[in-house]
Structure formats: C-alpha cells, structure tokens
Structure 1
Amino acid sequence: MGSSDGRTGDRAAADGVLDVPVIDISGWENGTGAARAALATEVDRAARTVGFLQVRGHGIPEDAAGAFADALDAFFALPMAEKRRLRAPSPDINRGYTPPRTEKLSLSLGVPAAAEDLFEAFNVGAEASSFPGLDLPEAHYPANIWPSLPGFRPAVDEWCRRAGGLARRMTGIFAHALGLPEGHFAPFTDHSLDVLRMNHYPLPDRELTLDRDRMGMGAHTDYGIVTVLWADRVPGLQILDGDGGWHDVLPEPGCLLVNLGDLLARWTNDRWRSTMHRVLPPTDERGRVVRRRSAAYFHDGNWDAEISCLPGCVPPGTAPRYPPTTVGRHLAEKLAGSRAGRRNENSPREAARLRAARSERPLPGTAGDGVNSGPSHVS
C-alpha cells in the first residue's frame, strides 16, 4: 500500500470484518527508547494502512466505562419529549440532543444522502468558561446543556477526562511517529475544541422496512485531529478502503478504537489518511434490528490554530495537497453540512472518495441489510 492511497494494505478481512491492528500503549510513558520507537512504528503503520487502530493498555478502568455506559442508557431511555427539550437553539451550536432523522453526515463531505441518518445523539464539549483569561468565542465554545438526571454529569465528565487524556497521549505518540518532538502538537491543542458525542441506534417500536440507501450514520470522515471511540460489539461500523470497498469493524474486548481526523491528514499531506467510515442500521445474523451504542470523543484542536502541511510530509518539488486552514473554519464548514444541512463544498478530495465507493450492501442476514429496522420514538 502506498502512503497516501488510504487502502487497507495487507490487513486481512475475515468474513468481511477488517483486521484493525491492536496496539498496547501501556509501555509508552516509561518505556525505553527502543520500546517507544517500536510502538511509534506500529502506530505509523496503522495510520498509513488503515487509519484506525485498537488501543489496549489505555489505563481507563472498567468501572469508569461501566458508569459511563449506565449514564448513556439512562439518558436515551428518557421520553422523547424530555430529550427534545435539550436540543440546542440552533443547529450551528454543537451541543445538546439530536433526534433521529435530523442529520446527514455525508453532507459534511458535500455529498447528498438519500435520507436522513437514523441515530440519535447527545453532545457535550469544551466551554469558554473552562479556559479563564483567554476570552474564547462562545460560538466555538458554547455552554453545555445538561439533563436533570442523577449521576449523569459526573459519569460523563469523568469519561471526558479519561478519553481526553488518552487523546492527548496519542498525539504525543503521533508526533514521535512523524519524527517530531513529542510535544509538537501541544501549542495547537491547549484550548482544544473537544466534543463528546454519545450515539444511540435504538430498537424499533414498530416493524419498518428501510429503503436500501438508509443509513444508521452516513459516510463521513472525522473532522479534527484524533477520535477515541467507545462502542458496543455490535455490527454496523464500516470503513472504506482505497479500492472503494466497505469493511466491518468490531472492537476487541477491553480495547478502544482510535481513528485519525481530517486535520491530521492535512498536517501529514495524506501520509496518514482520515478514514471514511459509516454505520449501517445494526442487525443480528437473522437481519433483525439490534440496539447499538457508541461514544466518540473528538480531540479537534484550538479554534484559532492554523493547520498547514508539515514540511517533512511534502515531497521535494511538489505542492501540499491542502491549503492552510484554521481549526475553527474547518469545523464550521463540516458542521454546517452534517447539522445544518448546508452542503460543504470544501472537501473535494473526500467527496471524490465517497462517490467512487462501491455501492454494494451486505448480504441478507448481515449488518445493515435494511429489513425490519428503524428508530424508536420518531415523531
């Protein structure tokens, strides 16, 4: 696999499930120089070939994950009317509750979808008040909207602290893998626009046949630097290879999925690719819809940080593939597509990858066959 084609390389797909490399990072902090170099080489290979990796030895205890999962369950079990009261006043505000069928993630790439995505979500993120003295703009750092649900906020805050710590540790490993000082990315992330999105693919309250273009979550790349993903071991998540084929991904027990975002692809001139992924309506082996939960912690960088290609990633005599941009501008363009329905015209390379993807669907009885599935509580 070339360093910029985004293919899955020699990673085998058994029964359609991609072999996403499992990397133990427990020895990073206190490891020898040789051990750290070997770990960074593993990460670089995964970033070049798949764009996803499974992290083991992340140090997040099971009880923190369990408390967080319980909080997520309690929130999504609330009546729809109560959840809807927690919607942001404008879709441009990336906070609060998102009901089913109100977003089209593919519009973040400028590619229209046949129908709205089926997932529901709840977002919290970095607030301006968290960085006193910096006078950060509320438009980029809006206040969170919290439900009156006992135990919810402490569990979510704890998960944000844990996932955010892992994301920052990964940027240190990334820097080492790219031949940079370990703290290279710190000035770009000291008031990072981090967001936690809790996703729920609910069971149907009635039998419903979906059209074949219906998505649990439409195809997209993640917008920022790195994503830490907690997810049920339920089929649905798929990633796109460089030949236009989709592959299922299931997290290994005890692992967290980590994937690269657009800004890291821009920094590395596509040496590391922001991998296209989607979520099919989750179903079991008999094609019956099943419930699925996930939570993506997006480590996106400072709103005012300028992202331009790292000099070592531009071959001599060539120009960078991406013009410089700021984190705030890039995120606003992406969110205007997915949340506000305004097609993003500034992702031509990603849009071309999606349009070139093969449109085949899984065989009947596998994830996303599109039968007998649909969201609950749809008004």
Structure 2
Amino acid sequence: MAASAIPVVDFQKYGLNVTDPKSVTGDVLETTAKEIYDAFSTTGFLYLINHGMGEKEVNDMFSVSKSFFDKPVEEKKRCARIPAEHGDHGWIALESESLNPKRKVGDLKEAFNFTPGHDGLWPEEPVEFESTFVSFHADCTRLTERILDVLSIGLKLQDRYYLRECHNLMGKKGGATTLRSLYYPALSGSMKPGQVRCGEHSDYGTMTLLFQDDTGGLEVVNTDGVYVPATPIPGAIIVNIGDMMQRWTADQLKGTKHRVLIPEAEVKKRQSRQSIAFFVNPNNDTMIKCLDGSDKYEPISSEDYLNYRFSVTYE
C-alpha cells in the first residue's frame, strides 16, 4: 500500500466545484460510489482528488496553526482542553495522549481541537486563528456531506441522503465532528522507550479527512497486515473509515490502523511535521445500528460510543 496501492478516487463529478449537487443524478455517481465503497471495504483508505477544497485555505490552516504551536507553553495553556467545560475543544499538550495505550508513554505530538457548538477559549494570536478554523470546518463539512451522499449510494441505501441526515449537526451543538490541527515538533535528545509520534490506532467515528504536509511519516496497515507509507500526494486528501462506521456497516467497511513513528533518519528527526484531521462523527443522538439489519453489533448511541473511546485514550 504505497502511494500507488492506496486507491485514488477522482471526485470531480460531485466535488465542491459542482455548484448544485442535487442536479447530479445518482446514476452519474455510480462509478465513483463503487470506487469509494471498494476502497473502504478493502484498505479502509483512499486518496481523494479533484475534491474542490482550495489550496490557499489548506495552507492558511497550516500557517496559523504553526504560529500558535510555536508559542510558549504558558501561552498555549490559556486555551487548554477542559472536557468538563468545553468538551473536546482546545489545546492538547505534548505527551498527554496515547493513541495506543499499550505503549504506556504519551505520543510526541500536540494538537488544537475545534468542535462548533462546544468551543471554549481561543488564542489571542494569531488574530485570524479562530476565523480560519471556523471557515475550514465549514468547507470540510460541505465536502463531507457530499462524500456521505456517494457512500450511501455505494452502500446501496434507499435514501442517498441518509448518512448526510445522520450528520446534519456537524457544525452545530449536538454534533461531535471535530477539526483537529496536529503538530509534531522537531526531535532532539533521547526519547522514552517505546515512544512514537502517534501510536497505532484506528479512528473512532464515521470517517476522517486528513490533510498532510509534504514531510511524510504516516503509515497504514495494508491488506497483508504490514505497515506501509501513505506517501503524500500534492492536492489530495486522505480519507479513511473509522471504527464506528465499521460497526454501523456490520464490518462491510474497514477501520484501518495507522501510525506515525519516530523517523530513522536524523535529518527527518530534526524536521517538524503537521497534519490537519477532520474527524467526522454522527449526531450525538444517532443510534448506531447495523445498516444491513443483521444486528451483528448491539445498537449504541454515537455519543456513548465516542465517550467510551475517549476514556481509553486519556485515562
């Protein structure tokens, strides 16, 4: 599953470049829907091209994020994540998460999360930080709605807009879809035994849109069970399935494990790395019940499932 082995899906027929998506009939999207379904049911990952997200908007997100992450820790603490007050919103310090709890040490990354309807404190500088996050979240939401429409067709659901409706609170209170900007600082000195930049894990929710810089480092489990590089493709968004969607589809679609290790090359260790993840989750009150009617998994609300997964990550 090198760059050529992760499927590349052209989304031009239904991307943000299409001004009226309702004018696109389902039969026009059948080929794209099959490509997306085939990718998600085998590798769980794909590269999305011709999606309509602007290069400038992506670069602006990386730029304002880097300006914030470069600030002293004491400044960043002023807008730290406080779950009891603001849910998942805010800054998450270096080594405070362990996405693979078996490693017993925190990941060498920090992050800033934004979930509309649950947001709390924002940094004062850079001044455009909040507006950039709000605008980017809105763009990702619009693209996600279209991916969900095509995925509904691929899953052969009767209603093309079924999954979209289950996520119609992505930018509002009652939704848990989160925009996360991630920063992996340049490394110096020795690391703790077993420490990595991002531990082995599969994502929790419906799916994830991932924007990478050109540094590389993401590795994905291929169909043979081996970790291989997910090499950045300029302009492409990586989209992958989360565990909740695997459960929802009774294992038709695959939540695939991925990680970011410590680079072996010294020159790579001295480079920082950035990525932006848009974690798509259904409305909190959506019941995750097997779409095929098999009852392979017991129904559970989206909110309860996510709370369980977060409790393990931050314990």
Equivalent residue for 2:121? 145
Structure 2: which 5+ runs fail to align? 15-20, 170-174
Partner of residue 139 from structure 2, selected from 162, 179, 182: 162
1:238 match: 219
Match for 2:151 among 155, 174, 178? 174
Question: 2:162 aligned to 178, 184, 205, which one?
Answer: 184
3-state SS of the aligned residue for 1:185? helix
Gaps in structure 1 of 5+ consecutive residues:
1-11, 128-141, 342-379
Higher helix content, 1 or 2: 2
Count of matched residue pairs: 300
Which of 274, 285, 298 is residue 323 of structure 1 equivalent to? 298
CA distance in structure 1 between the partners assigned to 2:58 and 2:267 by the alignment: 29
Aligned equivalents of 2:83, 2:37: Cα separation in 1:
39
Task: Report the equivalent of 1:296.
Answer: 277
Q: Does structure 1 conserve the Cα–Cα contact (< 8 Å) formed by 2:205 and 2:280?
A: yes
C-alpha distance in 1, partners of 2:260/2:43? 17
- Secondary structure class of the residue paired with 1:197: strand
Mapped pair 1:198 → 2:192: no
C-alpha distance in 2 between matches for 1:178 and 1:213: 40
Matches within 5 A, 1:8-157: 12-13=1-2, 19-28=5-14, 29=21, 31=24, 33-90=26-83, 93-107=87-101, 112-127=102-117, 142-149=118-125, 150-157=127-134
* Distance in structure 2 (CA, Å) of the matches to 1:68 and 1:264: 27
CA separation of 1:240/1:94 partners in 2, compared to 1, >3 Å: closer, same or farther?
same
Change (3 A) 1:77 1:91: farther
Contact 2:42 2:223 in 1 (8 A): no
Asked whether the 8 Å contact 1:260–1:274 carries over to 2, the reply is yes
1:162 CA drift (Å) = 0.8
Percent identity reads 28
Q: Is the CA contact (8 Å cut-off) linking 1:27 and 1:36 kept in structure 2?
A: yes
Q: Which residue of 2 aligns with 1:349?
A: none
Q: Which secondary structure state, in structure 2, belongs to the residue aligned with residue 85 of structure 1?
A: helix
Aligned mates of 2:216, 2:193 — CA distance in 1 = 17
Query: How far did 1:144 drift?
Result: 2.7
Report SS of the residue matched to 2:162. coil
Pairwise CA distance, 1:195? 0.6
Look at both structures and tell me which one has the larger radius of gyration over its CA atoms: 1
| Aligned-partner Cα distance in 1 for 2:56–2:281 | 27
* SS in structure 1 of the partner of residue 160 of structure 2: coil
Matched with 1:277 is 258
Computed over aligned residues only, the root mean square deviation of the Cα atoms, in angstroms, reads: 2.1
TM-score, normalised via structure 2 length: 0.88
Contact preservation (8 Å) 1:172, 1:182 = yes
1:53–1:285 Cα change, 3 Å: farther
What TM-score results when the alignment is normalised by the length of structure 1? 0.74
